[in-house]
Chains A and B, each alone.
Chain A
Amino acid sequence: MRIARELPDGAYVNLGIGQPTLVANYVPPEKQVFFHAESGVIGVGPMPEPENEDPDLSNAGGQPITIIPGAAFTSHVDTFAMVRGRHLDIAVLGGLQVSEKGDLANWIRPGRKVGGIGGAADIARGAKRIYVMMDHITKDSERKIVNRCSYPLTATGVVHTVFTDLAVILVTPEGLVLQEVAPGWSAEEVQALTEPRLIVSRELQEIRL
């Protein structure tokens, strides 16, 4: 919901598999955002009712989708040329770890022998702006915003902003800037759950949904 506000009218946006896919549901109808899917569509529409599912139409996660009027289909060569060629304005990706320098690890947990990279490395490197949407800490209370990623990297130095359940944090050359905190949380409490030192913005705000 919070991230949907960051998608400007007319933007071309890729949403990662899982939670980021839900961002599309919160874009207000007066805004026209073009959603790109790795399956080969620009102009992804809302999820279909079961009776309107098309067997030849899915998103990157294999879920049935619809398309908007004015959508276009591409082969994987073009689907990724527009990614690598820096034509996408924004990508919203999930994250396992984000480092102080904006490195992103989001494709495989250590200990798992086999993982899928899919389009994550291309998109994380190629979109003009990378928003990461993730929980602030793991289920085992481990910090996910870290000095250096210990998990295998997806791309280095690409993250622009991290949106968690507790905070909005901007990655800058000076370090991580805490811009917003969730209602009921203080900057100190967020810092305690974040490994790198946070620079608290002078305009620190509460997250508004």
Chain B
Amino acid sequence: MAGRPVYHDPLEAIADIPDGAVIMTGGFAGRGVPARLILALRERGVKGLTLITNDTSGGWGGRVDASYLIETRQVKKVIASWPVPASTAMITPLEQQLLAGELEMELVPQGTLAERIRAAGAGIGAFFTPTGAGTSFAQGKEVRTINGVEQILEYPLAADYALIHAYRADAYGNLVYRRTARNFNPPMATAARVTIAEVEELVPVGSLDPESIVTPGIYVHRLVVKRG
């Protein structure tokens, strides 16, 4: 059986991502971010992206995050839970563009964001959740009381491309993660037409314990490797 295409140059792995694409990028607080893929997209200058990611606050101790694509004005809409730093000391490019009407933003509670991505990957049409009921997050959404609990209707979030990060992969695209660098990467892997995984190391097929594989290769279409 043929393995997944393996790239060493991240630019080649993202060469077909067009302007206007809907992309997801994994990562949380600068951990588990597909940094090489984000920098490659930045270098290619793809524009008009819809970006689905957890946080774009930037500056996790100099770590790359998806804010690198907002800084260069490549994003027209961002869907995230933590778009700006807690501190108001500095106005970020995201805030500047948002206030100037150049960027659209949808703020989503973190658990709802994860579940909407999961729903897209799992073929779920929509779901009701208590998170956000009775708050501004319920605005414009269908509300229903189920088993005595007020809940709001949330729809799946799918993407054209998911850019994710993992620790190790084998040639079939099976992935394992490391510590809190796992975060949004497993659900995002399931929710895109094309999933591109940036990994630290490519290991021989059969060397990953099947019990420990978090993302099976069925969800992964391309691999970008540092080593192996």
A residues sitting closer than 8 Å to B (CB atoms) are: 17-18, 37-41, 54-58, 60-62, 67, 73-77, 79-81, 83-84, 112-122, 125-126, 152-157
Pick the residue among B84, B167, B183, B186 that contacts A115 (CB under 8 A).
B84
Give the Cβ gap from A66 to chain B, nearest Cβ, in Å: 11
Interface of A is mostly: loop
Q: Measured between alpha carbons, how far is A37 from B54 in the docked complex, in Å?
A: 15
How far is B145's CA from A86's CA once the two chains are assembled, in angstroms?
17
A40 touches B28 (CB 8 A): yes
Partner of B182, one of A60, A75, A81, A84: A75
Chain A minimum-CB-distance residue to B200? A56
Whether B50 sits at the interface, judged by CB under 8 Å, is no
Q: Which of A38, A76, A117 has the most CB of B within 10 A?
A: A76
Closest Cβ of chain B: how far from A84's Cβ, in Å? 6
8 other A-B residue contacts (CB within 8 Å) besides A116-B107, A121-B111: A37-B180, A73-B177, A75-B187, A84-B131, A114-B84, A116-B57, A120-B109, A121-B135
Q: Whole-angstrom distance between the alpha carbons of A39 and B30 in the complex?
A: 11
**A73: B residues at CB distance < 8 A:** 177, 179-180, 182
Q: Which residues from chain B sit less than 8 Å from chain A, CB to CB?
A: 28-32, 54-55, 57, 60-61, 81-86, 88, 94-95, 98-99, 105, 107-115, 117-118, 129-137, 167, 177-187, 214
Pick from A58, A112, A120, A125: contact of B88, CB under 8 Å: A112
A156→B187 CA distance, assembly (Å): 29
Distance, CA A113 to CA B98, complexed state (A): 9
Whether A56 contacts B88 in the complex (CB less than 8 A), given A118-B81, A122-B110, A126-B131, comes out as no
Tell which of B114, B133, B186 touches A80, judged by Cβ atoms closer than 8 Å.
B114
- Give the Cβ gap from A108 to chain B, nearest Cβ, in Å: 9
Q: Is the CB of B183 within 8 A of A116?
A: no
Q: How far is the CA of A85 from the CA of B129 in the complex (A)?
A: 10
Instruction: Kindly identify which residue among B129, B137, B183, B214 contacts A76, using a CB–CB cutoff of 8 Å.
Output: B183
Give CA–CA (A118, B180) in the complex, Å.
16
Q: With A and B bound together, what is the CA distance between A73 and B31 in angstroms?
A: 13
Asked whether A39 lies within 8 Å of B137 as measured between CB atoms, the reply is: no
Please state if A77 and B186 are interface contacts (CB–CB under 8 Å).
yes
Instruction: Indicate if the CB atoms of B180 and A56 lie closer than 8 Å.
Output: yes
Q: Is the CB of A58 within 8 A of B131?
A: no
Interchain nearest-CB distance for A138 vs B (Å):
15
Query: Within 8 Å CB of A40, what residues of B?
Result: 28, 180, 182-183
Closest B residue to A84 by CB, please name it. B111
For the complex, what is the distance from the CA of A56 to the CA of B57, rounded to whole Å?
18
Measured between C-beta atoms, what is the minimum distance from B120 to chain A in Å? 12
**B181 proximity list for chain A (CB < 8 A):** 56
A-B contact pairs, 29 of them (CB 8 A): A37-B180, A38-B110, A40-B180, A41-B180, A56-B32, A56-B180, A58-B30, A58-B31, A62-B61, A75-B182, A75-B186, A76-B114, A76-B184, A77-B114, A80-B111, A112-B88, A113-B95, A113-B99, A116-B57, A116-B81, A117-B110, A121-B109, A121-B112, A121-B131, A122-B109, A125-B130, A125-B133, A153-B136, A154-B135
